[in-house]
Chain A
Amino acid sequence: AQTVTQSQPEMSVQEAETVTLSCTYDTSESDYYLFWYKQPPSRQMILVIRQEAYKQQNATENRFSVNFQKAAKSFSLKISDSQLGDAAMYFCARETSGSRLTFGEGTQLTVNP
Chain B
Amino acid sequence: DAGITQSPRHKVTETGTPVTLRCHQTENHRYMYWYRQDPGHGLRLIHYSYGVKDTDKGEVSDGYSVSRSKTEDFLLTLESATSSQTSVYFCAISEISGDTGELFFGEGSRLTVL
Contacts and interface: CB of A to CB of B under 8 A. Distances in A.
Contact of A103 (B43, B56, B96): B43
Nearest to B56: A98
A105 B40 contact: yes
B105 A99 contact: no
A33 interface: yes
A44 interface: yes
Interface string A1-18: 100101001000000000
Interface stretch (B12-20, B44-52, B66-74, B75-83): B44-52
A45 B45 CA distance: 15
B59 A1 contact: yes
Contacts of A33: 99-102
Nearest to B42: A103
Interface residues of B, number: 27
Nearest to B44: A103
**Residue from A1, A42, A44, A100 with most neighbouring chain B CB atoms (10 Å):** A100
Nearest to A47: B102
B58 A100 contact: yes
A41 to B, nearest CB: 12
Contacts of B50: 98
Contacts of A95: 101
Interface in A6-58: 6, 9, 33, 35, 42-45, 47, 50
Contacts of A91: 42-43
Interface of A: 1, 4, 6, 9, 33, 35, 42-45, 47, 50, 91, 95, 98-106
26 contacts: A1-B59, A9-B40, A33-B102, A35-B101, A35-B102, A42-B107, A43-B88, A43-B107, A44-B105, A45-B90, A45-B92, A45-B103, A45-B105, A50-B100, A91-B43, A95-B101, A98-B50, A99-B31, A99-B94, A100-B33, A101-B43, A101-B45, A101-B101, A104-B42, A105-B40, A105-B41
Interface of B: 31, 33, 35, 40-45, 48, 50, 56, 58-59, 88, 90, 92, 94, 96, 99-103, 105, 107-108
